[in-house]
């Protein structure tokens, strides 16, 4: 049975790498779901064991913030915020900085995937009205969403998973990750500004057609969501109450609306991502039960490689995140996260590494697909010069900062 389980695990993670399996219409979510179904069907675990292997705390917090972000998107908050920034008369370099700062801050407080869904349409419209090329600004949004989301334990799916699994302090993590993330946003601005210096404007004939509907501004719905989110954020910082339960309560309050239909809000929940999480939880649990991961770690230790050491963990996470995507990589490496700074190491390296390639993070893919709906093509040749530079520089900043903390009392903040 061990050989079968290992085989299924390898096939699933090969699918994570390729994004699909040959001759089958399966994406990463479908592959993870099918793998978990096969494991249950062959008797490697029963339904009760499969259910217990799923970290409901992580799923709950992830779902709750998807609902909160959906409320803000439907209420037009993201549209209003992006519109207010882009309406200011400023040079392209200053507009780029404002867009990066806005995207980074919003991604730190809300889910970066939702932010990347909401900002591009408004930004593209603003760029076209000024005769600016939207591409550098869209690349900045994708990179800034990843960099900004690394600052908190609620900015992206993998950080939510790490925070809940390792029971990290919300404020402690923010104190550690906040500075590298802020510096990373400045690096993002510098890279994009340098890459597109003197190339800000584009001919009107090069513009594609807009085909995406932008949510209208609803002051009451947006204010309600912002107030609840503010209270929730303060509670995360100042109280030891369970984050998942508080966030779920906040989502429940927002669902009780006389104007905004729950079907529309739940329609913006990324159910595919939630299913992906559940499937990977089951598959990784089945592999752990075989003892194979422990044997692999023991073999590496004999070769002088300690994957739980901060330096090795940082490098392995960054590389693996680009091979199989950051969520599967994080799940795979969590069992060896024993160092006091393992949580920040996993969170920052997996998130910042996502800028390396378009497929490195969902945020990148969302921005590229949104651009395509407006007739703007962003391929890997366009993304790579910016994405690779931002990734290497931000990872370098994070590595130096974490190295400094390993020699100070900073680790005890977690």
Express each pLDDT in 219-278 by its tens digit.
888 899 999 999 999 999 988 889 999 999 999 999 988 878 888 889 888 898 899 999
Residue 411 has pLDDT above 60, yes or no: no
Of the candidates 260, 222, 212, the one whose C-alpha atom is nearest the C-alpha of residue 73 is: 222
Predicted confidence band of residue 205 (pLDDT cuts 50, 70, 90): very low
Candidate from 18-27, 42-51, 282-291, 309-318 with smallest mean pLDDT:
18-27
What stretches of 257-408 show up as alpha helix (H) in DSSP? Answer: 262-267, 271-290, 292-302, 310-324, 326-333, 342-352, 362-373, 380-406
Q: What band does 164 get if pLDDT is binned at 50, 70 and 90? A: very high
Instruction: Look over the chain and give the mean of its residue pLDDT values, rounded to a whole number.
Output: 89
Task: Give the other-Cβ count within 10 Å of 46's Cβ.
Answer: 10
Where along the chain do its domains lie? 2-413
Q: What is the 3-state secondary structure (H, E, C) of 331-360?
A: HHHHHHCCCCCHHHHHHHHHHHHHHCCHHH
* Secondary structure (3-state) at 42: coil
The backbone torsions φ and ψ at residue 132, rounded to the nearest 5 degrees and listed phi first, read -95, 150
CA distance 399 to 413: 17
Mean pLDDT of 300-311: 88
> How far from 229 is each of 91, 151, 203, 224, 345, CA to CA, in Å?
33, 17, 41, 9, 27
DSSP letters of 23-37? TS---HHHHHHHHHH
In this structure, of 155-159, 166-170, 278-282, 319-323, the range with the lowest mean pLDDT score is: 319-323
CB 345 within 8 A of CB 314: yes
CA dist 224 to 245, 254, 256, 286, 353, Å? Answer: 19, 8, 11, 43, 35
- Rounded to the nearest angstrom, the gap between the alpha carbon of residue 387 and the centroid of all alpha carbons in its chain is 15
What mean pLDDT do residues 294-317 have? Answer: 89
pLDDT band of 6, cuts 50, 70, 90? very high
């Amino acid at each position: 049975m061990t050989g079968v389980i290992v085989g299924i695990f390898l096939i699933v993670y090969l699918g994570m790498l390729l994004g699909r399996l040959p001759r089958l219409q399966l994406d990463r979510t479908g592959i993870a779901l099918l793998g978990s179904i096969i494991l249950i069907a062959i008797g490697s675990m029963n339904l009760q064991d499969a259910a217990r292997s799923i970290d409901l705390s992580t799923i709950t917090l992830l779902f709750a913030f998807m609902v909160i972000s959906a409320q803000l998107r439907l209420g037009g908050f993201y549209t209003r915020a992006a519109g207010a920034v882009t309406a200011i008369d400023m040079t392209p370099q200053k507009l780029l900085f404002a867009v990066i700062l806005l995207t980074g801050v919003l991604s730190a407080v809300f889910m970066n995937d939702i932010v990347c869904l909401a900002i591009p349409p408004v930004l593209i419209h603003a760029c076209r009205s000024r005769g600016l090329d939207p591409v550098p600004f869209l690349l900045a949004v994708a990179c800034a969403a990843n960099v900004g989301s690394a600052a908190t334990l609620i900015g992206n799916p993998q950080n939510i998973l790490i925070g809940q699994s390792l029971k990290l302090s919300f404020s402690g993590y923010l104190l550690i990750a906040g500075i590298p993330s802020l510096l990373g946003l400045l690096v993002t601005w510098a890279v994009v500004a340098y890459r597109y210096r003197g190339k800000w404007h584009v001919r009107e004939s090069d513009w594609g057609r807009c085909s995406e509907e932008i949510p209208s501004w609803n002051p009451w719905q947006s204010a309600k969501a912002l107030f609840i989110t503010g209270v929730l954020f303060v509670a995360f910082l100042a109280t030891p109450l369970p984050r998942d339960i508080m966030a779920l309560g906040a989502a429940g309050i927002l669902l009780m609306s006389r104007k905004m239909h729950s079907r529309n809000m739940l329609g913006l929940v990324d159910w595919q991502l939630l299913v992906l999480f559940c499937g990977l939880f089951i598959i990784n649990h089945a592999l752990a039960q075989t003892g194979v991961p422990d044997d692999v770690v023991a073999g590496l230790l004999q070769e002088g490689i300690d994957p739980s050491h901060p330096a090795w963990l940082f490098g392995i996470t960054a590389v693996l995140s680009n091979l199989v995507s950051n969520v599967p990589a994080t799940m795979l490496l969590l069992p060896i996260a024993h160092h006091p700074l393992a949580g920040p190491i996993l969170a920052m390296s997996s998130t910042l590494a996502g800028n390396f390639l378009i497929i490195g993070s969902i945020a990148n893919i969302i921005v590229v697909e949104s651009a395509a709906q407006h007739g703007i093509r962003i391929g890997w040749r366009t993304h790579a010069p910016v994405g690779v530079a931002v990734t290497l520089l931000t990872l370098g900043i994070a590595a130096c900062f974490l190295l400094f903390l390993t020699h100070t009392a900073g680790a005890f903040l977690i």
